[in-house]
Structure 1
Amino acid sequence: MPVAVYVLAVAVCCLNTTEIMVAGLIQGISSDLGVSVAAVGYLVSVYAFGMVVGGPLLTIGLSRVPQKRSLVWLLAVFVVGQAIGALAVDYWMLVVARVLTALAASAFFGVSAAVCIRLVGAERRGRAMSALYGGIMVAQVVGLPAAAFIEQRVDWRASFWAVDLLALVCIAAVVLKVPAGGDPDTLDLRAEIRGFRNLRLWGAYGTNALAIGSVVAGFTYLSPILTDAAHFTPSTVPVLFAVYGAATVVGNTVVGRFADRHTRPVLFGGLSTVTLVLVGFALTVSHQVPVAVFTVLLGLIGLPLNPALAARVMSVSNEGALVNTVNGSAINVGVVLGPWLGGMGISAGLGLAAPLWIGAAMALCALITLLPDLRKRSGASAPERGETGRDETAVRA
C-alpha cells in the first residue's frame, strides 16, 4: 500500500474518534453544560444525521475541486468545527460543532476512498479499503479510550483539542504525502449520478446499513449487558472492550486480504456467522464464559466486514467519491437504526438480550439481501469485477 493510504487511514481514525468519543465524555459534558445525559447522547445521532444528509451534498459541491485540495479543505472544516466544540459555551453551540465535523467527515470518507482506489487500482481496492477503514478500528481501540482518559485527567474540552491537534497534523501529512491527481476534468459527476439508477447499488447500500446496524445494535448496549446481565465487575468491562477492539483490527486485516477476489463469499459467510454469533450471545447472555467468547467473535467478524461491503458497492457501480460517500451515509443509517431499535426492545421490557436478538434479525435481513445478487452471479457466464478486476457492466441489472 502507498504511504498516502495510511496517511488517509490516520485521518479517518481522527474523524471517527470525534464521532464516537462523546460516549466516553457524556458525564463531563452533561455536568459542564447543564444538560441531561440523554441530551448529550443525542449528539451521536446529530453526527450520524449530518453524515447521512450532508456528506453527499458536500461531495457534489466539491466535484469540480481536485481531490487533494478537497481533502485539505474538508480537514480544515473539521478543524474549525472541532474548535467550536471545544469552545462551546452551551449545548446548541456543541450541536453546530457536531454538524460541521460530521459534514466534513462524511465527504472526507468518500473522497479518501476514491483517492485510495486511484492510487492502487481496482484489483486491490479491497485491501486499500481494509487499510483505510482500519482507521475506524483504531479509533475504537485507541481513540475512544484515549479521549475518555484525557477527560478524566483534565476535562472533556481537552479531548476535543487533542483530536483537533491530530487533525492539523493530518492536514500537513496530506499536503506532503498524498499525490495530486483526480483533477476536475477526470471526474464525471454525471456518470456517477447515472450510476444511482442501478438497483443493485441500492441493494448493496441496504445490505451495508443492515449489516453494520446489526453489529452496532448489540455493541451499543454491551456495557450494561456485561455488568447487569453477565455480572462482570465494572473493572473487567474496559478489558473486554479492549479485547473486542483488538479483535476488530485482526478481523479487518484478514477480511481485507480476501475482499477483492472473494467479495460475495466473504459477505455471505460473514453475515451468516454474525447472525449465529448474535443468536448465541442472546441465548447465553447471563453466562460469563460464552459472553466473553461471543464478544471476541463479534469483534472479529462484525465491523471488519466493512472492506468487503465497500468492495461490493464499487463492484456494482464505480469507485467515485459520490458513490462512496453515499455508502458512508447508508452505513450511518444503520448506526442510527440499530441502537434505536435495540433501545426500543429494552424499553418494551424485553431485557438486555433484546438488542442482540434485534441485531441478529438485522443481520439475517442483510444476508437475505445478498440472495438476488448471488443468483445473478451464478447465472452469469463471466466473472464479476469484484473478483477479477474486470468491469461488471455486462452483467449488471
Structure 2
Amino acid sequence: MPLAIYVLGLTIFCMTTSEFMVAGMMNTLAEQFGVPVSAVGYLISAFSAGMVVGGPILTAALLNTPRKKAFIALSVVFLVGQLLGAIANSYEVMMVSRIITGVASSAAFGVSISISASLVKENERGRAVSIIFGGLMIATVLGTPAATWAADAYGWRFSFWAVAVLVLLSGITALRLIPSLAKPEPTRLRHEMTAFRNRKLWAAYLTSFLIIGATFAAFSYFAPIFTDLTGFSAASIPILFVVYGAATVIGNLITGRLADRYTMQLLAAGLIVLSIALLAFAIGVHEPLIVIPAVIVIGLAGVPMNPPMVARVIRTGGSGLMINTVHTAIVTFGVVVGSSVGGLAISAGYGLAAPIWVGVVLALAGVLSLLPYMMGGISRREIADMEG
C-alpha cells in the first residue's frame, strides 16, 4: 500500500478521536460550561448531525476540486473547528466547534476513499479502505482512551490541543506524500446526482445502515449492561472495551484482505454471524461466559464489515465523492438510529437488555436485505460485476 493511504488513515484516526473523546470528559465539560451532563451529550450528537447533513453539502461544493486539494482544505476546516473547541469559553462556542468538525470529518471520509481508489489497483481497493477505517477503529481502542486519560491528567483543553497538533502534522505529511492526482472532469451536481437513481446503490446503502445500526444499538449501552446485568465490576469495563476494540481491529484486517474478492459473501456471512452473536448476547446477558465470546464476535463481525460495504458501494455506484460521502453519512445515521432506538427502548421500560434486541432485529433486517443475492435473485453476471 502507498504511504499516502496510511496518512489518510492517520487523519481519520484524529477525526474519530475528536468525535468520541467528549464522552470521556462529560462531567468535566458540564462543570466547565455550567450545563447538565445531558447537554454535553448533545455535543456528540452535533458532531454526528454535522456528518449526516453537512458532509454531503460540503462535498457538493468540492466536486470540481482536485482530490488532494480538497483533502487538505477539509483538514484545514477540521483544524479550525478543533482549535475553536480548544479555546471555547462557552457551551455555544463548543457546539459550533463540534458542528464544524463533524461536517469536515464526513466530507474527509468521502474524499479519502476516493483518493485511495485512485492510488491502488481495482482489486486492492478493499484493503486500502480497511487501512483508512483502521484509523477509525484504532481511535476507539487507543485514541479515545488516551484523550480521556490526558484530559484527567492535564485538563480537557490539552486533549483538544493534542488532537489539533496531530491533525496539523497529518495534513503536512499528506501535502508531501499524496500525489497530485489528475483534476476531475468538470461535473455538475445534477450529473453527479444521477448515480443515485441506481436502486442497487440504495440497496447497498440500506445494508450498510442496518449493519452499523445493529452494532451500535448494542455497543452504545455496553457499559451499563456489563455492570448492571452481567455483573462485571466497574474496574473491568475498560478492559472489556479494549477486548472489543482489539476484535474490531483484527476483524478489519481480515475483511480488508478479502473484501475485494468476496464482497457479497463477506457481507452475508458477517450479518448472519452478527445476528447469532447479538441473539446469544441478549439471551445470555447474565452469564459472563456467554457475554465475553459474544462481544468478541460482535467486534469481529460488526464494524469490520466496512471494507466490504465500501467495496460494494464503489462497484455499484463508482468512486465519486458524493457517492462515498453519502455512504459515510448513512453509516453515521445508522450509529445515531441504533443508539437512539436502543435508548428509547430502555426509556419505554423494556430494560437494559432492550438495545441488544434492537440490534438483533436490525441485523436480521440486514440479512433480509441480502436475500435477493443469497436466494439467487441476482444474475450471475451482476454477481460477477460486484465481485470484480
Normalised TM-score (structure 1): 0.95
In structure 2, the partner of 1:284 is 284
In structure 1, the partner of 2:41 is 41
In structure 1, the partner of 2:178 is 178
Quote the sequence identity (%). Answer: 43
In structure 1, the partner of 2:116 is 116
1:261 equivalenced with 2:239 (yes/no): no
Relative distance call for 1:34 and 1:384 in structure 2 (3 A) is same
Looking at structure 2, the residues matched to 107 and 182 of structure 1 have their Cα atoms a distance apart, in angstroms, of 19
Relative distance call for 1:20 and 1:175 in structure 2 (3 A) is same
Q: Map of 1:125-274 to 2, 5 A cutoff?
A: 125-185=125-185, 191-274=191-274
In structure 2, the partner of 1:91 is 91
Is 1:192–1:318's contact at 8 Å kept on the other side of the alignment? no
1:325 equivalenced with 2:325 (yes/no): yes
Looking at structure 2, the residues matched to 75 and 186 of structure 1 have their Cα atoms a distance apart, in angstroms, of 23
Is 1:377–1:384's contact at 8 Å kept on the other side of the alignment? no
Looking at structure 2, the residues matched to 182 and 7 of structure 1 have their Cα atoms a distance apart, in angstroms, of 19
TM-superposed deviation, 1:187 = 5.9
Query: Residue deviations 1:250-280, cap 9 Å, x none?
Result: 0000011111111111000100111111110
Q: Structure 1 unaligned runs (5+)? A: 389-397
Query: Residue deviations 1:82-119, cap 9 Å, x none?
Result: 01111111111111001100111111000110000000
Looking at structure 2, the residues matched to 328 and 97 of structure 1 have their Cα atoms a distance apart, in angstroms, of 20
Looking at structure 2, the residues matched to 375 and 272 of structure 1 have their Cα atoms a distance apart, in angstroms, of 14
Q: What one-letter code is carried by the residue in structure 1 that aligns with 2:17? A: T
- SS across alignment from 2:208: helix
TM-superposed deviation, 1:3 = 0.6
Looking at structure 1, the residues matched to 136 and 377 of structure 2 have their Cα atoms a distance apart, in angstroms, of 31
- SS across alignment from 2:65: coil
Pairs aligned (count) = 388
Looking at structure 2, the residues matched to 181 and 385 of structure 1 have their Cα atoms a distance apart, in angstroms, of 26
1:368 equivalenced with 2:360 (yes/no): no
Relative distance call for 1:195 and 1:213 in structure 2 (3 A) is same
Is 1:262–1:386's contact at 8 Å kept on the other side of the alignment? no
TM-superposed deviation, 1:190 = 5.2
Query: Residue deviations 1:326-360, cap 9 Å, x none?
Result: 00000011111001110011111211110000011
- SS across alignment from 1:319: coil
Is 2:64–2:186's contact at 8 Å kept on the other side of the alignment? no
In structure 2, the partner of 1:393 is none
- SS across alignment from 1:349: helix
Looking at structure 2, the residues matched to 381 and 121 of structure 1 have their Cα atoms a distance apart, in angstroms, of 21
1:311 equivalenced with 2:326 (yes/no): no
Is 1:263–1:312's contact at 8 Å kept on the other side of the alignment? yes
Is 1:110–1:328's contact at 8 Å kept on the other side of the alignment? yes
TM-superposed deviation, 1:185 = 3.0
Structure 1 range deviating more: 163-172 or 18-27: 18-27
Is 2:268–2:374's contact at 8 Å kept on the other side of the alignment? no
TM-superposed deviation, 1:45 = 1.3
Is 2:372–2:378's contact at 8 Å kept on the other side of the alignment? no
TM-superposed deviation, 1:376 = 6.3
Looking at structure 2, the residues matched to 187 and 123 of structure 1 have their Cα atoms a distance apart, in angstroms, of 26
Structure 1 range deviating more: 184-193 or 259-268: 184-193
Query: Residue deviations 1:112-133, cap 9 Å, x none?
Result: 1000000003221111111111
In structure 1, the partner of 2:9 is 9
TM-superposed deviation, 1:374 = 4.4
Is 2:205–2:327's contact at 8 Å kept on the other side of the alignment? yes
TM-superposed deviation, 1:192 = 3.0
Looking at structure 2, the residues matched to 287 and 307 of structure 1 have their Cα atoms a distance apart, in angstroms, of 32
Looking at structure 1, the residues matched to 376 and 185 of structure 2 have their Cα atoms a distance apart, in angstroms, of 35
Q: What one-letter code is carried by the residue in structure 2 that aligns with 1:234? A: A
Relative distance call for 1:91 and 1:353 in structure 2 (3 A) is same
Give the alignment's Cα RMSD to 1 decimal: 1.4
Looking at structure 2, the residues matched to 36 and 71 of structure 1 have their Cα atoms a distance apart, in angstroms, of 36
Is 2:85–2:93's contact at 8 Å kept on the other side of the alignment? yes
Q: What one-letter code is carried by the residue in structure 2 that aligns with 1:325? A: T
- SS across alignment from 1:35: coil
In structure 2, the partner of 1:394 is none
In structure 2, the partner of 1:69 is 69
Normalised TM-score (structure 2): 0.97
Looking at structure 1, the residues matched to 257 and 381 of structure 2 have their Cα atoms a distance apart, in angstroms, of 25
Q: What one-letter code is carried by the residue in structure 1 that aligns with 2:223? A: S
TM-superposed deviation, 1:321 = 1.3
In structure 2, the partner of 1:391 is none
